[in-house]
Chains A and B, each alone.
Chain A
Amino acid sequence: EAGVTQFPSHSVIEKGQTVTLRCDPISGHDNLYWYRRVMGKEIKFLLHFVKESKQDESGMPNNRFLAERTGGTYSTLKVQPAELEDSGVYFCASSPSSGSLSEQFFGPGTRLTVL
């Protein structure tokens, strides 16, 4: 079974540009999560999808971040325009059931550098 995949693995952009990160969860997993780790700090929750619906977006830092999960499969996280403080590693995770708490399986992360 394929794990959670994320694309790209690294992205270097300039301040003011737009970047779109993609996450493909494990097939059949209804729950999809985005997290971010800024250098030297803890991993922080951004948002949670159940299928195509945003269940919890309390961690989204501001309206420059837009997450979508059309069709309830893969998800994208767009940052527009990017700022220096957006640099960090963006993790995606998925879990199998919408009715019970279960382990979250993490992807390898996308390292975003904003210059």
Chain B
Amino acid sequence: AQSVSQHNHHVILSEAASLELGCNYSYGGTVNLFWYVQYPGQHLQLLLKYFSGDPLVKGIKGFEAEFIKSKFSFNLRKPSVQWSDTAEYFCAVIHTGRRALTFGSGTRLQVQP
């Protein structure tokens, strides 16, 4: 079965530190890739997505992600985190021909002021 792996379950950073959250997927075919975020008490919302084209994707709030097909990876990055980035982050994929999102288990990011 297709799966998405997020390597870090809980990350604690200080403000201004750089962030990289790992995401790998198992499917070998064409995929569409997403990062969603859930801030405390809020809905899941889209941070960024990759469908095709430039593998370096920029999203909201200064986040970016790079799709590396050879590594089946779509890691999320931010050069300098803020306290307001404290949230749970989910990597997800949609495989060709489907519309269902397959999610990773999520990474809880805690940014300390």
The smallest beta-carbon distance between B15 and chain A, in angstroms, is: 28
Chain B residues near A96: list those with CB within 8 A.
none
Known: A101-B32, A106-B43. A55 touches B105 (CB 8 A): no
- B101-113: CB near A (< 8 Å → 1, else 0) gives 1111110000000
Chain B residues near A74: list those with CB within 8 A.
none
Total residues of chain A contacting the partner, CB 8 A: 25
**A43 lies within 8 A of B103 (CB):** yes
A114 to B81, CA, bound (A): 38
**Residue of B whose beta carbon sits closest to that of A58:** B100
**A42 lies within 8 A of B103 (CB):** yes
A43 to B101, CA, bound (A): 9
The smallest beta-carbon distance between B38 and chain A, in angstroms, is: 8
A45 at the interface (CB under 8 A from B): yes
A104 at the interface (CB under 8 A from B): yes
A-B contact sample (7 more), CB < 8 A, given A45-B101, A106-B44: A56-B100, A59-B100, A101-B32, A101-B99, A103-B46, A103-B49, A107-B43
B→A interface (CB under 8 Å)? 4, 32, 36, 42-46, 49, 51, 90, 94, 98-106
Q: Could you list 23 A-B pairs, sorted by A, with CB under 8 Å?
A: A3-B43, A31-B99, A33-B99, A33-B100, A33-B101, A35-B101, A35-B103, A41-B105, A42-B4, A42-B106, A44-B103, A48-B99, A55-B99, A56-B98, A59-B100, A91-B44, A93-B44, A101-B32, A103-B46, A103-B49, A106-B36, A106-B45, A107-B43
